[in-house]
Structure 1
Amino acid sequence: MHMLEFFGMKRLGMTADGYVLETPVTAEVTQPDGILHGGLSALLAEEAASQGARESIDLLTHTAVGLDLTSTHLLPVHVGDTIRTVANPIRQGGRTQVWKVEQYRKSDGELFNVSQLTVYIKRIAPRG
């Protein structure tokens, strides 16, 4: 099982807003006090930014690898809510890309997390 399935993530892909994921918040992804575990916020941020970066490169010759992730939690998220993760490039060029990721509670539209991911665009051996 891929982690997308395990966590219930749904890829909406590139939209006018950026690269978008939606994920339900279940009891399995909360801290003991019942709020969303920050590790899942970070995982979702890296997933959205990495997938966005992958859409901008030739996957036959390159891959996108996360180098640095910062994540700031602003508000709690509770079981039953859904997370909307939106990633947008700040810089795309050369061998590095920088992506800003914002996460919102769908219940009230409030921004609850802001992250930034630096991605290395790595050349790979041609496939085939």
Structure 2
Amino acid sequence: MQLSKQAILERANAVTKNTLMETLKIELVDFGDDFVVGKMPVNERVYQPDGVLHGGATAALAETVGSFAAELLLDTKNHFVRGIEISANHVKSVKEGHVYAKATFIHKGRTTQLFEIKVTDDDDNLVSLCKLTTISLPRTK
């Protein structure tokens, strides 16, 4: 039995209980054959001291979405995925609303994967451009 898209999103969001993703209110909202989209509210929970979105929270959103992309789009029955490097270029401040991160593959290797993650605001303006490298390692029995 194949799960519906909604059921897969519900399962993915359910595993974030008692994690950073729950703390930041990160939610996966869409995915396709080559992308995953997540969103995060911008409020005092993710502010830096001057009242705008903290770059670290943006990087956490990007790594979350990229890691879920690796989990959803790769063979994780026999492998597990870990992030090994992330970089972020922040180009716009955000004070309210939501930010959305869309992870797409740049490289889909057996061992390493490279994602481009565009973070945008409610008006689809680019907020940050991130790059995430993940590694896929065999599960031991």
TM-score under structure 1 normalisation? 0.90
Structure 2 match to 1:121 = 136
Instruction: Return the offset for 1:17.
Output: 7.7
Identity %: 27
The code of the aligned residue for 1:112 comes to V
The equivalences for 1:63-78 within 5 A come to 63-78=80-95
Q: How far has the Cα of 1:72 moved from its partner? A: 0.5
Letter in 2 for 1:73: H
Tell me the equivalent position of 1:82: 98
Match of 2:5 in 1: none
Distance 1:118 1:69 in 2: 6
Checking the alignment, whether the CA contact within 8 Å between 2:34 and 2:105 is kept in structure 1 is: no
Letter in structure 2 aligned against 1:102 = K
Is 1:15 the counterpart of 2:32 in the alignment? yes
* Deviation (angstroms), 1:96: 0.6
1:21-56 CA-to-partner distances (Å, cap 9, x unmatched) read 011111121111111010011111111111101112
Question: Is the aligned partner of 1:34 residue 2:51?
Answer: yes
Structure 1 segments (4+ residues) deviating >3 Å = none
Output the TM-score relative to the length of structure 2: 0.82
- The reply to whether residue 109 of structure 1 matches residue 124 of structure 2 is yes
Structure 2 portions without partners, runs of 5+: 1-17
Once the two structures are superposed, residues 89-122 of structure 1 have per-residue CA deviations (whole angstroms, 9 ceiling, x without a partner) of 001022010000000011x220010000011111
Aligned residue number for residue 58 of structure 1: 75
1:10: how far off? 1.4
Question: Larger deviation: 13-22 or 91-100?
Answer: 13-22
Distance 2:21 2:129 in 1: 21
Q: Which residue of 1 aligns with 2:11?
A: none
Distance in 2 (CA, whole Å) between partners of 1:38 and 1:62 is 30
Say which structure is richer in strand: 1
Equivalent pairs, count: 124
Q: Which residues of structure 1 form unaligned runs of 5+?
A: none
Q: Which has the higher helix share?
A: 2
| DSSP-derived class of the 1:28 partner | helix
**Which structure has more RCO (C-alpha within 8 Å, separation ≥ 6)?**
1
- Where 2:38 maps in the other structure, the secondary structure is strand
One-letter amino acid of the structure 1 residue matched with residue 39 of structure 2: E
Contact in 1 for aligned 2:88/2:128 (Cα 8 Å): yes
SS where residue 107 of structure 2 aligns?
A: strand
- Superposed CA RMSD in Å reads 1.5
